[in-house]
């Protein structure tokens, strides 16, 4: 119960990547991941690519020095990427998150994040909190897309508190 902010953030990010993997598994086929819904700007496939690319870039490359080179334009322009490839991207995103958190300390959370956004400098702490909100936003979009395209209201157990508790307790055992 006496976790550091860093431990809590890591647990949240890893839970969210696991939720993305469950969401992807709930799509019945590759084409449904790319189904277009009137009024929604992106298919879930686009969002999976964007989230995976973002996590690999900001965590893996920026914090973890993985060497990953992001192609943000491709995240939004690629189409009909099979689920098997999306699964691989999410796996690499998880590795990026792990690599990034391995380089962070509680003290580094108060330092400036290495990337500027709109010419503003933010602390690493604030940047990670912002990224977490952004990730949750995209998870909600993916969940809504999947339910709309498939007609299946099955839950991927997004933001499950029990899973979060398990992750935190597992890290301390």
Torsion (CA) 52, 18, 15, 141 in degrees, nearest 10: 60
Q: Are 19 and 158 spatial neighbours (Cβ–Cβ below 8 Å)?
A: yes
- When pLDDT is averaged across residues 72-80 and rounded to a whole number, the result is 98
pLDDT band at 171 (very low <50, low <70, confident <90, very high): low
Residue 65 has pLDDT above 60, yes or no: yes
Which pLDDT value is given to residue 173?
42
Q: Are 52 and 71 spatial neighbours (Cβ–Cβ below 8 Å)?
A: no
23 HSE (CA, 13 A, CB side): 28
Which pLDDT value is given to residue 1?
61
- Give SS3 for 117: strand
Which pLDDT value is given to residue 167?
67
Which pLDDT value is given to residue 11?
94
**Structural domains of the chain, with CATH:** 5-171 (1.20.120.450)
Percent of the chain topping pLDDT 70: 95
* Calpha distance 107→10 (Å, rounded): 15
Residue 31 has pLDDT above 70, yes or no: yes
Both tokens of 24, joined, read: 């992807």
pLDDT digits (tens, 9 = 90+) for 145-160: 999 999 999 889 876 7
pLDDT digits (tens, 9 = 90+) for 94-132: 999 999 999 999 999 999 999 999 889 999 999 999 999
* Calpha distance 50→4 (Å, rounded): 29
* Calpha distance 63→167 (Å, rounded): 22
């Amino acid at each position: 119960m006496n976790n550091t902010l860093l431990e809590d953030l890591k647990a949240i990010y890893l839970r969210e990547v696991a939720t993305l993997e469950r969401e992807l598994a709930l799509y019945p086929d590759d084409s449904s991941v790319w189904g277009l819904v009137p009024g929604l700007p992106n298919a879930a496939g686009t969002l999976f690519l964007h989230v995976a690319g973002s996590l690999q870039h900001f965590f893996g490359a920026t914090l973890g020095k993985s060497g990953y080179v992001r192609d943000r334009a491709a995240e939004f322009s690629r189409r009909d990427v099979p689920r098997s490839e999306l699964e691989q991207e999410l796996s690499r995103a998880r590795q990026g998150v792990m690599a990034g958190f391995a380089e962070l300390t509680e003290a580094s959370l108060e330092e400036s994040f290495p990337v500027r956004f709109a010419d503003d400098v933010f602390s690493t702490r604030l940047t990670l909190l912002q990224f977490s909100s952004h990730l949750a936003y995209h998870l909600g979009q993916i969940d809504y897309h999947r339910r709309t395209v498939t007609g299946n209201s099955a839950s991927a157990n997004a933001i499950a508190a029990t899973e979060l508790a398990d992750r935190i307790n597992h890290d301390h055992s």
